[in-house]
Structure 1
Amino acid sequence: MRRFDEIIDLAAERHGGRDTFDQMLAETRPLAPQEIAAIPDDRILAAMTRRVFCAGFSSKVINAKWQAFESAFERFDPARCAWMTEERFDELLKDKDIVRNGAKIKSVQENGHFLTELAEKHGAAARFLAEWPDDDFVGLLDFLKKNGSRLGGETGMHFLRSIGKPAFITMPDVVKALIREQVLSKSPTGKGDFAKIQAALNQWSEQSGLDLTSMSRTLAMSVG
């Protein structure tokens, strides 16, 4: 496993030099913890829902329908979504303006419950997410998978990055780079593999001072 400055050099070389590379990284800088903590919980539920519906589906279609989603789910107020009636659920299954996937519609109700419980314990769900340490990102992924609805795997990763939380995403190029650096021998499939990724990223972060999002993107851009 080489030092991260060498991986940065490799990525910069492949993407037009260091200035261009730095500009590309700057486009997806994560938010500071206090900025994440200030996000209203309805926007957290909206971000969760967008990622859940995008999973296995065209993001362009979801984005085009998003205003209809906002209206259908009452602007994603967690308490209102948590107490969705059966009648309202049935109405949503017939709503042609959104994607009529019963399991994913149900996840909005379940994640509404999840967020209201977090808010009761921590004052705001966003604060809880913001304060989770980045050097245990895989622990947060596991927490979302176990306690949220349909938030496992890359869905949880994409959700966290979308709210500004530093996040790695195991996209194919990232995995290729991790295999090249001998962090992994294959695509990650279990806790052991993700623990190896976290350990490597923690070491690289100490060397480079970069956050998880920047390191993840650098790894992807270092693959030719």
Structure 2
Amino acid sequence: MRSFQELQELAEQYRAPEELAAMMPAVKTADEIMGVSEDRILALMTRGVFQAGFSWKVIEAKWPGFEEAFEGFVPVRWKFMSDDDLDSLLKDTRIVRNGQKILSVRDNAIMLCDLEDEHGSAAAFFATWPREDHFGLLELLKKRGSRLGGATGQYFLRQLGKDGWVLSQDVVMALIREGVVDKNPTSKSAMKAVQAAFNEWATESGRPFAHISRMLAFSVGPKTI
């Protein structure tokens, strides 16, 4: 596979270096992530769950209503979501009334409360998880969380500021081109190959996974119709 420098040179064939630099995702330090409150983590999870398969613009427009309906997303409140709570939310026009996605708020609140018990805070858990096992963190979200598998978990971590990749269509195209995988990576063996490639590029370049991910996407060139 190409070096990171070669990937950057490919991307610079389509975008100016200063444009590329301006479009790199923000990555927070461990201390910054530790400062994120549990309610904001649950809010980010919920936003990702409701955006999946739905118009992001609609969720954006309705988000103040979500904040009101879920009373600020305090996990210890929603881990005890009652049948009456669910019935009320299913009638609440301030939110998207999808029963399974509403229930994911309860399940993810339970996970966050458990992480707080296990690690002092959920934020500390996410902040200290090693980048070299990013795939393991995605697997944990999938197994212990609700509706946080695949791209939803990846985008949640990106919004949290945790360094990691997002396997967009363009990123997958680049990984196939580089011989890292031969198709969309869904198996554990393919995801381990993705992890190994990102580890290598990060060691070589000193760049965050998020920047490597974005550079891979830009390296496939502009969209064609």
Shorter chain as denominator, the TM-score bin is over 0.9
Other-structure match for 1:36: 33
Q: TM-score, normalised by structure 1?
A: 0.97
Q: Is the 8 A contact 1:12 1:20 kept in 2?
A: no
Other-structure match for 1:154: 151
C-alpha distance in structure 1 between counterparts of 2:89 and 2:96, whole Å: 9
1:211 aligned residue (204, 208, 211): 208
What SS is found at the alignment partner of 2:207? coil
Letter in structure 2 aligned against 1:153? G
Letter in structure 2 aligned against 1:90? D
- The percentage of counterpart residues that share the same residue type is 50
Other-structure match for 2:21: 22
Other-structure match for 1:13: 13
2:87 aligned residue (72, 82, 90): 90
State whether structure 2 residue 83 is matched by structure 1 residue 60.
no
C-alpha distance in structure 2 between counterparts of 1:111 and 1:19, whole Å: 39
1:188 aligned residue (185, 188, 193): 185
C-alpha distance in structure 1 between counterparts of 2:19 and 2:44, whole Å: 29
C-alpha distance in structure 1 between counterparts of 2:154 and 2:171, whole Å: 13
Q: What do the CA deviations read for 1:133-165 (whole angstroms, capped 9, x no partner)?
A: 011000000001010111001100000000100
CA displacement at 1:12 relative to structure 2:
1.8
C-alpha distance in structure 1 between counterparts of 2:22 and 2:48, whole Å: 26
C-alpha distance in structure 2 between counterparts of 1:67 and 1:132, whole Å: 31
CA displacement at 1:60 relative to structure 2:
0.5
Q: Is the 8 A contact 1:37 1:127 kept in 2?
A: yes
CA displacement at 1:23 relative to structure 2:
2.2
State whether structure 2 residue 214 is matched by structure 1 residue 198.
no
RMSD, aligned CA: 0.8
Q: What do the CA deviations read for 1:50-75 (whole angstroms, capped 9, x no partner)?
A: 00000000011011000110111110
CA displacement at 1:8 relative to structure 2:
0.7
CA displacement at 1:29 relative to structure 2:
2.2
C-alpha distance in structure 2 between counterparts of 1:143 and 1:112, whole Å: 15
What SS is found at the alignment partner of 1:65? helix
Other-structure match for 1:103: 100
Other-structure match for 2:122: 125
What SS is found at the alignment partner of 2:200? helix
C-alpha distance in structure 2 between counterparts of 1:71 and 1:99, whole Å: 13
What SS is found at the alignment partner of 1:121? helix
Other-structure match for 1:2: 2
C-alpha distance in structure 2 between counterparts of 1:118 and 1:83, whole Å: 16
C-alpha distance in structure 2 between counterparts of 1:23 and 1:202, whole Å: 23
Other-structure match for 1:78: 75
CA displacement at 1:187 relative to structure 2:
1.1
C-alpha distance in structure 1 between counterparts of 2:206 and 2:137, whole Å: 21
C-alpha distance in structure 1 between counterparts of 2:21 and 2:62, whole Å: 34
CA displacement at 1:167 relative to structure 2:
1.5
CA displacement at 1:19 relative to structure 2:
2.3
CA displacement at 1:85 relative to structure 2:
1.2
Q: What do the CA deviations read for 1:13-70 (whole angstroms, capped 9, x no partner)?
A: 2112x22222222xx2200111011100000000000000000000110110001101
